[in-house]
């Protein structure tokens, strides 16, 4: 049963065609890796899948329902998106981790300090919850941002270069965390130019405006 997919989705940047009409279908718990030269439209594709980029709402469906028929907030709770550059809002790490829970769409209780601390430690982040999030290093921000999404338990996670800013050790940590989430049933679409440790799944390459399965 398909969780997220597109039928005949095309991508354009201004007048330039990035991707010819493309079909893609991803099942629950499945992992897909996207690679290709920079500027080829990988990030744009991810942004379309979570409906951040205008257009294509009639070509993409999640759980059998077109994006156009979803309430945007509900959809984005189901399909989380992690941009290439992690963004921290003004405030502490706690504020940033709780951000999504303070939005109107949220009905889940705020995560407790203890739970958040454990999650941070599992990512090898030995920082206090009161640390100013904007003073974190790029590598720390990347992990806090990932955690921010994982706490919401989305069914699909769209990751744009999740390990590009990390050193080898932290990259391995993030890769393991992603793998664990996938084993728990989270589908993932990952854009990465580096190989992801332990990645099991399909691999597509952007080649001359087409999405081709890579060997």
Q: Which residues bind other proteins (CB under 8 A)?
A: 50-54, 57, 67-68, 72-74, 76-77, 80-81, 83, 85, 87, 89, 99-100, 103-106, 148, 152
The least CB distance from residue 29 to other proteins, in Å, is 22
The least CB distance from residue 13 to other proteins, in Å, is 15
The least CB distance from residue 51 to other proteins, in Å, is 6
Q: How far apart, in whole angstroms, are the C-alpha atoms of residue 37 and residue 64? A: 31
The least CB distance from residue 149 to other proteins, in Å, is 8
Q: How far apart, in whole angstroms, are the C-alpha atoms of residue 158 and residue 50? A: 8
Concatenate the DSSP letters of all residues of 130-199 into one string: TSBGGGS-HHHHHHHHHHHHHTT--SEEEEESTTTTS-HHHHHHHHHHHHHHHHTT-EEEEE-SSPPTT-
Q: How far apart, in whole angstroms, are the C-alpha atoms of residue 99 and residue 112? A: 13
Looking at beta carbons only, is 148 or 188 nearer to other proteins? 148
Q: How far apart, in whole angstroms, are the C-alpha atoms of residue 152 and residue 99? A: 11
Looking at beta carbons only, is 54 or 109 nearer to other proteins? 54
Looking at beta carbons only, is 85 or 137 nearer to other proteins? 85
Looking at beta carbons only, is 68 or 207 nearer to other proteins? 68
- In which element (H, E) is residue 22 found? strand 16-27
Q: Which of 46, 25, 22 is nearest to 34 (CA)?
A: 46
The least CB distance from residue 57 to other proteins, in Å, is 6
The least CB distance from residue 182 to other proteins, in Å, is 20
In sequence order, the 6+-apart residues with CB closer than 8 A to the CB of 151 are 97, 100, 101, 111, 116, 119
């Amino acid at each position: 049963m398909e969780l997220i997919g597109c039928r005949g989705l095309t991508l354009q940047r201004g007048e330039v065609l990035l991707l010819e009409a493309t079909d893609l279908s991803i099942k629950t718990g499945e992992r897909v890796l996207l690679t290709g030269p920079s500027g080829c439209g990988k990030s744009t594709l991810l942004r379309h899948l979570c409906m951040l980029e205008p257009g294509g709402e009639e070509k993409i469906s999640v759980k059998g329902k077109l994006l156009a028929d979803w309430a945007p907030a509900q959809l984005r709770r189901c399909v989380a998106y992690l941009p290439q550059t992690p963004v921290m809002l003004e405030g502490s790490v706690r504020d940033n981790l709780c951000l999504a829970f303070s939005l109107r769409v949220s009905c889940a209780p705020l995560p407790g300090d203890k739970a958040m601390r454990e999650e941070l430690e599992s990512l090898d982040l030995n920082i206090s919850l009161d640390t100013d999030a904007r003073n974190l290093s790029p590598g720390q921000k990347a992990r806090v941002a990932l955690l921010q999404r994982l706490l919401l338990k989305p069914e699909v996670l769209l990751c744009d270069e999740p390990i590009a800013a990390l050193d080898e050790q932290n990259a391995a940590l993030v890769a393991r965390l992603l793998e664990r989430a996938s084993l728990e049933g989270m589908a993932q679409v990952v854009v990465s130019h580096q190989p992801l440790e332990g990645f099991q799944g399909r691999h597509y390459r952007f080649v001359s405006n087409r999405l081709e399965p890579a060997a």
